[in-house]
Chain A
């Protein structure tokens, strides 16, 4: 058992270390003996820096849209007893179940000819929201379904609290940990999304993973590795920060 664990740990960690190393050596085929440099990192930053920013921007916009669309919808689906709601929830999760490539093709068929939309980052954003919305709705929805929350809301209603007061004052704080967890998930998925994005991007609208694929295909191994380092440097701290915020909120509001 320990042999397997060791081999797998090496298998998982070695490529990461190798990639970090390859991004800072002068010549990958000569290894460390060729010396270290920041040249590749700078080259990637000047060539692809904007893809990093766009990815972060799209991920934030995706979180906001998923919140605005998803949280009320999660509430409606959690409280509704109609068969339509069940069917809709089922449909909503399809973009996660079927390969992103198919969803992207469908989007291209329907809106590929709307030039302004097609050529803007909104096109990619829409794809990301379609893909991440089910996560938001499912995670927040299951929090809304908790029995004590149903009774709490009933009590507030019987005391005359209007809906928006109940929603903002009681429901949202009660499901806040679920909302934060879902936001983290949506953000992570959006930043790393490639399957849809590669089909939806244009030469002027590229995100980080698209730039990565582009640099892998056309540049030296060193550039690709340096780009991977930038992905790790940018994404990991953001994820750790978000996770830390999530823990704090969980502590304050309970699980």
Chain B
């Protein structure tokens, strides 16, 4: 440890450099250098490789499906999260704390577990298939296509949204709502004019994180995506099944750029809390 040998008389600048040196060295060796290599790799196959995501119909479709799915998941998460957050913030019942902690528990689950949950519910031997068969219909399975992914991503992002919205709704100014109601505002008018502006910062931060997480989600997609291809799975397939490293790198760059852009925009408009860190 070099730090301990430094005395109080050493220049502050040197001190700061010494403090940050280990982290800088580690980061440069294990992320910066690899990232530069990843960015340089597609060039070997020609500049066109960089645009494969947009020029190849297959990858473009995969990209559009990923973005579309992520958008839908984000909208659903925000809507449900806001409703639940307001409901949870306004209620006091026994077991409320327990319920909140149960609802936020999935934050620590790996994506594969959530994929497996969806298979248990909507897979070939799932509960829904058994129930629909018992009711005399054909066995309904939805786990391996669009709906499975949608529900899986929703499951993954709801805990974060519920937690943030509950905190935000608890901090809402009750007087504003009282005033609005006393002036005759009802239902939607209250939601639009009183709740919406106060929950706006949470909505911005949440939407960016949910969208960015959904776009890059690998674990859930890995267990569920067999009929609906998303970009992370395309990358994985190019890399492991076809050993097409340059293309995998190019697709990763596109995926990384989109995600980074979304988070950057959110931070630009919603402040530092939207960075996901």
Please list the residues of chain A having a beta carbon within 8 angstroms of any beta carbon in chain B.
1-2, 4-5, 8-9, 11-16, 18-19, 22, 28-29, 68-70, 72-73, 75-77, 79-80, 85, 88, 91-103, 105-107, 109-111, 126, 129-130, 133-135, 137-138, 157, 160-165, 167, 188, 191-195, 198-199, 208-209, 212-213, 216-217, 221, 224-225, 228, 231, 235-236, 239
Which of B3, B113, B260 meets A164, CB within 8 Å? B3
Q: Is B6 an interface residue (CB 8 A)?
A: yes
Within 8 A of A (CB), among B236-270: 236, 239, 245, 248-249, 252-253, 255-256, 259-260, 263
What B residues does A198 contact at CB under 8 A? 218-219, 222
Could you write out 25 A-B pairs with CB less than 8 Å apart? A4-B87, A14-B121, A15-B117, A19-B116, A85-B16, A93-B277, A94-B35, A109-B34, A109-B41, A110-B34, A130-B31, A133-B26, A161-B8, A162-B7, A163-B3, A188-B108, A194-B111, A194-B218, A209-B219, A212-B116, A213-B219, A216-B112, A221-B123, A225-B120, A231-B109
Which of A73, A101, A195 meets B24, CB within 8 Å? A73
Which of B19, B216, B277 meets A76, CB within 8 Å? B19
Which of A72, A126, A208, A239 meets B23, CB within 8 Å? A72
Q: Which 7 A-B pairs have the closest CB atoms?
A: A99-B216, A15-B117, A162-B8, A106-B34, A73-B23, A98-B256, A110-B34
Which of B26, B32, B112 meets A213, CB within 8 Å? B112
Within 8 A of A (CB), among B114-162: 114-121, 123, 125, 127, 130, 151, 155, 158-159, 162
Within 8 A of A (CB), among B51-76: none
Contact A1 B113 (CB under 8 A): no
What A residues does B99 contact at CB under 8 A? 9
**Nearest CB in chain A to that of B220: its residue:** A194
Contact B26 A129 (CB under 8 A): yes
**Nearest CB in chain B to that of A88: its residue:** B24
Assuming the A-B contacts A1-B86, A101-B235, are A163 and B6 also in contact, with contact meaning beta carbons closer than 8 angstroms in the complex?
A: yes
Q: Is B47 an interface residue (CB 8 A)?
A: no
Interface centre among B26, B80, B115, B119 (most CB of A within 10 A): B26
Contact B218 A195 (CB under 8 A): yes
Contact B216 A101 (CB under 8 A): yes
Main secondary structure of the interface of A (DSSP, over half): helix
A193 to B130, CA, bound (A): 33
* Total number of B residues with any Cβ neighbor in A under 8 Å: 86
A49 to B67, CA, bound (A): 38
Q: Is B103 an interface residue (CB 8 A)?
A: yes
Q: Is B38 an interface residue (CB 8 A)?
A: yes
Which of A4, A93, A110, A191 meets B33, CB within 8 Å? A110
Contact B38 A106 (CB under 8 A): yes
Assuming the A-B contacts A93-B277, A209-B112, are A4 and B37 also in contact, with contact meaning beta carbons closer than 8 angstroms in the complex?
A: no
What A residues does B159 contact at CB under 8 A? 12
Which of B7, B27, B37, B239 meets A130, CB within 8 Å? B27
Contact B108 A239 (CB under 8 A): yes
Within 8 A of A (CB), among B25-49: 26-27, 30-35, 37-38, 41
- How close is B95's CB to chain A, nearest CB, in angstroms? 11
Within 8 A of A (CB), among B199-246: 212, 215-219, 222-223, 232, 235-236, 239, 245
Q: Is B88 an interface residue (CB 8 A)?
A: yes
Q: Is B198 an interface residue (CB 8 A)?
A: no
- How close is A234's CB to chain B, nearest CB, in angstroms? 12
Contact B276 A97 (CB under 8 A): yes
The 8 A CB mask of B85-119 against A (1 = contact, 0 = none) is 01110000000000100110111111111111111
A166 to B111, CA, bound (A): 42
Contact B87 A2 (CB under 8 A): yes
Interface centre among B114, B212, B218, B253 (most CB of A within 10 A): B218
Which of B32, B249, B256 meets A91, CB within 8 Å? B32
What A residues does B182 contact at CB under 8 A? none
Which of B86, B102, B219 meets A13, CB within 8 Å? B102
Assuming the A-B contacts A8-B80, A72-B3, are A235 and B158 also in contact, with contact meaning beta carbons closer than 8 angstroms in the complex?
A: no
What A residues does B112 contact at CB under 8 A? 194, 209, 212-213, 216
A235 to B107, CA, bound (A): 12
Q: Is B176 an interface residue (CB 8 A)?
A: no
A16 to B116, CA, bound (A): 10
